[in-house]
Amino acid sequence: MNLIEVDEATSTNTLAASMPDAPHGTVIRAISQTAGRGQRGNSWESEPGKNLTVSIVVRPDNISAGDQFLICRAVSVALVQLLDRVLPQSLEAEIKWPNDIYVGDKKICGILIENSLTGSTIDRSILGIGLNVNQREFVSDAPNPVSIINLNGGVEIELAPLVEMLWSLVDENLRLCSTESGRQKLTENYNSRLWRRTGYHTFAYPDGQRFMALIKSIGDNGVMTLEHRDGATQSFAFKEVQFVL
């Protein structure tokens, strides 16, 4: 791990992108992130010095653009494994498709992955991670944030050891992508920790129309297939459907 710590950054992903020669395993951590970016163009609220706001630069080994969802799986699984180590045993972190991390119906971590290609192969991935750790209150209009300290009885956690643990788990899961058996294990681990992985739940189309369905599968391309109550199936790419909380 090549750790770079800065007191302040607008976005650690933006800072990482400005370092085109950063080697594999470069971890950029900002004590204060003033304009953190999330999926769908959302911002990420983080009280300075209280949370883990990092970007990890990785250079995947022979992962094609068509297989980029492997990276999403690897990072998501690494995060739930990290939370397994720090949350009370009665609580389970889960992966809300494609890669938000939830505990119950509350969001504890957001992930933003930005890939760069050389030809049809991924040359570099920037893994932006915002993990709520020691922040007790949230003042933005985000609907459902939660932090580790909210869930573990108010005990603060040191951030520096979390950075090392996070890199170790990300590296371990990315290594699984290099073999077929490893990819299968990664897929199984991802599917076993999906949020709302059993039963029927409410979803919404982009126009707001709601329907009930269950998650039938998540494809290797990241497409989610839902099964309606009448047995009909329908597949969705990211942003083509939303969970209703």
- List, for residues 194-242, the tens digit of each pLDDT value: 999 999 999 999 999 999 999 999 999 999 999 999 999 999 999 999 9
How does pLDDT run across 164-191, given as a tens digit for each residue?
A: 999 999 999 999 999 999 999 999 999 9
- Residue 13 scores a pLDDT above 60: yes
Provide the CB-side half-sphere exposure for 14 (13 A, CA): 11
d(CA 215, CA 54): 31
d(CA 211, CA 132): 31
How does pLDDT run across 61-117, given as a tens digit for each residue?
A: 889 999 999 999 999 999 999 999 999 999 999 999 999 999 999 999 999 999 999
Q: Which helix (H) or strand (E) holds 187?
A: helix 180-192
Bridge-based pairing state of the strands 2-9 and 26-33: parallel
Whole-prediction pTM: 0.94
One-letter amino acid of 19 = M
Region 39-49: mean pLDDT is 69
Is residue 223 within 8 A of residue 236, CB to CB? The reply is yes
Given this model, what pLDDT does residue 142 score? 77
Higher pLDDT, 157 or 36: 157
> What length is written for the chain?
245
Q: Which helix (H) or strand (E) holds 204?
A: strand 201-204
- Residue 42 scores a pLDDT above 90: no
One-letter amino acid of 128 = G
Strand, coil or helix: what is 122? strand
- Residue 39 scores a pLDDT above 60: no
Cis peptide upstream of residue 48 (ω within 30 degrees of 0): no
Is residue 79 within 8 A of residue 111, CB to CB? The reply is yes
d(CA 52, CA 109): 9
